[in-house]
Amino acid sequence: MTHNRRRDATDDRTVLITGCGSGIGRATAREFARRGWTVYATDLRTDLLEPLEDECETAELDVTDEAQCEEVVERIADDEGSIDCLVNNAGYGVLGAVADVSTEKAREQFDVLVHGPHRLARAVLPKMHDQHGGTIVNVTSLLGRVTFPGLGVYGSAKFALEGLTDALRMETGPDIDVVAVEPGWVRTGFDDEARQQFADIDASPEYADVYELHEEGPFLDGGPLAVEPEAVADEILHAATATNPKSRYPVGVARWLVLLRFLPDSVQDKGRWAIGKLGTKLRRFGLL
């Protein structure tokens, strides 16, 4: 762990954030730091944390490594005396038709998106119980409530994280708050990284229409519907500081797309395909 800044005497709250190397995690670390929190910004790659070193404490953290998760939490507790908030943000997306994604890749996806938050929750909860308070914010996704073709493995992991969040909220209340922040599309490198996986996928011809949606359409980047990472960071900070936080904070287009869940499944299925195909056509003509 790298100590990079002098702690101000007025700081009295500490947050551990995962996945701070870019995007939502980096924006969230900066937002908490601006508000006077002591921020421990972590990532699998410490070189990506260099832009945060003047504002935050930084540390390497692989959320699939249980020993490292426990070690980082213990160091923070020893250094600061408490951990007031955990933000589980680290993640990436596995792209492909469900039948084309290997079991190994699916297992790796769940290890990061579901087991990682579980490991860290297990590590911080004893500290939060001892201090009679704390907040866990799990960054889930619109895709944790409404999934789309080609994103089934990623979506199913986010569905699982939503369920884990709900159970934790009921088990730990009222002293400890557990909240889901649910972004829709966000302008990060998520879509570029997901598209790069096409080269590693042995795409079956039966699912050519699925891949066409992602190669040409806005399903991954959201086009004009995407929001900046700072919009998600604002909601995460709000969830961490609210006296009585809501159980869920949808962000951007997620606020209204989640309403699709209340339609009959047959209507939902046709609607999601229609949204994707319309977006593909608009993009081909330079209208999106």
Q: Which residues are known catalytic residues?
A: 154
Which helix (DSSP H) or strand (DSSP E) does residue 129 occupy? helix 116-130
Tally of CB atoms within 10 A around 199: 6
Cα atoms in the 13 Å half-sphere on the side-chain side of 58? 22
Q: To 10 degrees, what angle do helices 66-80 and 116-130 make?
A: 30
201-230: buried (b, 16+ CB within 10 Å) or exposed (e) per residue?
beeeeebeebbebbeebbbbbbeeebbebe
Specify whether the CB–CB gap between 154 and 91 falls below 8 A. no
Query: For the chain, what percentages of helix, strand and coil (3-state, to nearest 5) are there?
Result: 55, 15, 30
- Tokens 């790796």 correspond to what residue? 108
Amino acid making up residue 164 = L
Q: Which of 38, 37, 17 is nearest to 28 (CA)?
A: 17
